[in-house]
């Protein structure tokens, strides 16, 4: 079985190095998951995420002319729905929020002006 760019497959970690992990793919080929493609957050120590013989789902990023296969674990994961499904905001909601913000802002500014005037001794002086 040969792998193709963009394909997601299950592989087995065969080696872990400071720069990434080697993963055996179906068909006997192996590829490298660079440390930057292990997780969606910064990975300082790859050993905290992967161990030899772990089964992982990987996405094939590229296959070089020399046969080297570049893989990604983080791109094989499904994106979180919360990030994809942003709540749509209607123009009425925006106008209402803007109006509330302006009203609150004006109230705060008038309070600040009154306090400043009282410290200076009022308007007449």
Q: Report the distance separating Cα 123 and Cα 101, nearest Å.
A: 28
Bridge partners of residue 110, in order along the sequence: none
40 inside domain:
yes
Per-position pLDDT tens, the chain of length 125: 688 899 999 999 999 999 999 999 998 899 999 999 999 999 999 999 999 999 999 999 999 999 899 999 999 987 655 444 555 667 888 888 889 999 999 999 999 988 888 888 766 55
- Domain range for 103: 87-119
Same domain, 105 and 54: no
Q: Which phi and psi angles does 104 have, rounded to 5°?
A: -60, -40
Same domain, 57 and 98: no
Same domain, 109 and 59: no
Same domain, 96 and 57: no
């Amino acid at each position: 079985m040969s792998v193709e760019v963009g394909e997601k497959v299950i592989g087995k970690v065969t080696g872990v190095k400071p720069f990434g992990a080697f993963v055996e793919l179906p068909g006997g080929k192996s590829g490298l998951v660079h440390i930057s493609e292990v997780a969606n957050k910064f990975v300082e120590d790859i050993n905290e995420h992967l161990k030899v013989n772990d089964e992982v789902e990987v996405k094939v990023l590229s296959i070089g002319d020399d046969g080297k296969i570049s893989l990604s674990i983080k791109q094989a994961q499904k994106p979180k729905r919360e990030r994809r499904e942003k709540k749509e905001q209607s123009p009425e909601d925006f106008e209402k929020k803007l109006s509330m913000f302006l009203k609150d802002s004006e109230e705060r500014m008038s309070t600040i002006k009154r306090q400043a005037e009282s410290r200076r001794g009022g308007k007449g002086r």
